[in-house]
Structure 1
Amino acid sequence: NWLRGLLRIGIWQKRAKQYFPDTVKTITNWFDEIIAYFDNRTKSGLVEGINNKLKLIKRSAYGFINFENYKNRCLLSWAF
């Protein structure tokens, strides 16, 4: 259950801190979001997909003169 998982993550973090300090820090920084998943079963996959698509358009749009062209390109990618 939720509380048991929370306890196990805490125990793992204590043991793993000396071996995986960066991972423990990342989990600590995102702890509220991790817990929110278990509360609401919300996922960030859709948002991550949108961000990935925008980054791809931005990379391919190198050299666009103004923001309006970038905005139109983004809007067109979702219209079709």
Structure 2
Amino acid sequence: MHELKKEFHALFEPSQNLAKGTLELIDWLKKAEPYYKKSVETIKRWFGEIVGYFEQRTTNGRVEGINNKLKLLKRCGFGLRNFINFEMRALLAWHFPNN
């Protein structure tokens, strides 16, 4: 199982193109299905989006990071009286992240 996990990570190396990455992902799915049933089902469901990575080389990591930061700020800002105060804290946290 550990080898399959390492192979999965190696699929997304920058040297691959769309066709090669897609074919290797399909081969990996066939090998991994007996061991990672739920994960394989999820990958099959999101296959188009995952394969899109080979074409564009972009992820939604930045957006997820921003959403996480805003959720944290929202939890810390419990009790702020209005949205303007929340908005100001969000802008301050965005422009001055260490403070």
TM-score using structure 1 length: 0.72
Other-structure match for 1:7: 23
Q: 2:21, 2:51 within 8 Å by CA — same for their partners in 1? A: no
Gaps of 5+ in 1: none
Deviation at 1:31, TM superposition (A): 2.0
Q: Percent identity?
A: 50
Count of aligned pairs: 80
Instruction: State which of 62, 66, 73 in structure 1 corresponds to 2:78.
Output: 62
Instruction: For 2:24 and 2:59, locate their aligned partners in 1 and report how far apart those are by CA, in whole Å.
Output: 21
Other-structure match for 2:41: 25
Matches within 5 A, 1:34-45: 34-45=50-61
Deviation at 1:4, TM superposition (A): 2.3
- Aligned CA RMSD, in angstroms, stands at 2.1
* SS in structure 2 at match of 1:32: helix
Change in Cα spacing, 1:22 to 1:69, as seen in structure 2 (3 Å) is: farther
